[in-house]
Amino acid sequence: MTQETRASGAMRTAGELGRYLGCTVSGDSGVEIRGVASPERAGAEDLIYLDAPRHLGRAAESNARCVITLAALPVPGKTLLVVPRPKLAFAKAAAWLSPPAAIAEGIHATAVIADSATLETGAAVGPFAVIEDDVHIGEGTQVGAFCFVGRGSKIGSGCRLYSRVTLYAGVQIGDRVVVHSGAVLGADGFGYVSEAGTHWKFPQAGRLEIEEDSEIGANATIDRGSLEVTRVGAQVKIDNLVHIAHNVQVGDRTLIAAQTGVAGSSTIGSDVLIGGQVGIADHCRLEDGCIAGAQAGIPTGKTIRKGQTVWGCPARPIARFKEQYAWYARLPELGERIRKLESTKQDKPAVPPMSD
């Protein structure tokens, strides 16, 4: 358990945790648990998990007394919480045992809060944060040090804004959204109209809406709509250093890994998986449940069909990518063979013409 990021967990028993997870407890249900850890770093009061036979030795040798595991992977001498998906149960247990530490408590004396701003019960604002006019902050939401919340923004209940998050004017955030340090939400999109060497800025007067239970990584940037709305759906998880441009629509439960860039007016469906460093050009459409592998490049206007997995640049179905990549890997060998064939052809004497 990392004390820098997690609150000190309350002591629980294996029996209490079993009831919380709705699973079978085998062994001493009175074993006390305070936190979670890897097998090597765990103390007696830490919880570990086991989901593959190759890790059985690590779990057996751990100091942890309690293990979340599969029915087919008993660990001798340990109290077992038996579940069908140990990693999932471990994540749920971690959230229950060790809730994240507070970002802010109360209203710090150095915070600057406009008179017209509304803070619901339990909302907290850290040092040197700025809350502008007509902002609404929901119950129990925590706004960290040096955050800026622009005029007319609305933040739901139970949100967590880590230090130095910036919300431009009018951003709307649903309940239980987490925004990590350095994220900038609602900046102008990159839209210009050119004439005779001058770039005229196209209006960036739309909004940004982020729905409930989403998480935005550190230094991510999500632009407001130009004339419409940029929308991030519920339970979307966006990694660090991701850029989402104006008018983009992201469906529920989609995952976007680090350094991905999504250009303007693209639509990403629900339950989409996007790997690291993927580039999505403007006006693309990624349908529900599709997967874009790391560093895939999706050109302007392209549609990735529902459930399809693509890779490469330009992105193509993964089976085709693998076949082409295998040939690509053989190019040095094939090139040498061609050189030898050409050399042999040049060394052969010319065939004399046939005489009458």
Catalytic (active-site) positions? 246
DSSP 115-158: TT-EE-TT-EE-TT-EE-TT-EE-TT-EE-TT-EE-TT-EE-TT
- Looking at this protein, which amino acid is placed at residue 285? R
Are the CB atoms for 152 and 189 separated by under 8 Å?
Answer: no
Q: Please provide residue 315's backbone torsions phi and psi, each rounded to the nearest 5 degrees.
A: -65, 140
Distance CA 335, CA 324 (A): 16
Question: How many CB atoms sit inside 10 A of residue 323's CB?
Answer: 12
Residues linked to residue 66 through DSSP beta bridges, in sequence order: 47, 79
Q: Please provide residue 12's backbone torsions phi and psi, each rounded to the nearest 5 degrees.
A: -125, 165
- Residues 175-205 as b/e (b if ≥16 CB within 10 A, e otherwise) read bbbbbbbbbbbbbbbebeeeeeeeeeeeebe
The residue behind tokens 């009831």 is 19
Overall size of the chain counted in residues? 356
DSSP 222-275: EEPPSSSEEEE-TT-EE-TT-EE-TT-EE-TT-EE-TT-EE-TT-EE-TT-EE-
**DSSP secondary-structure letter at 348?**
S
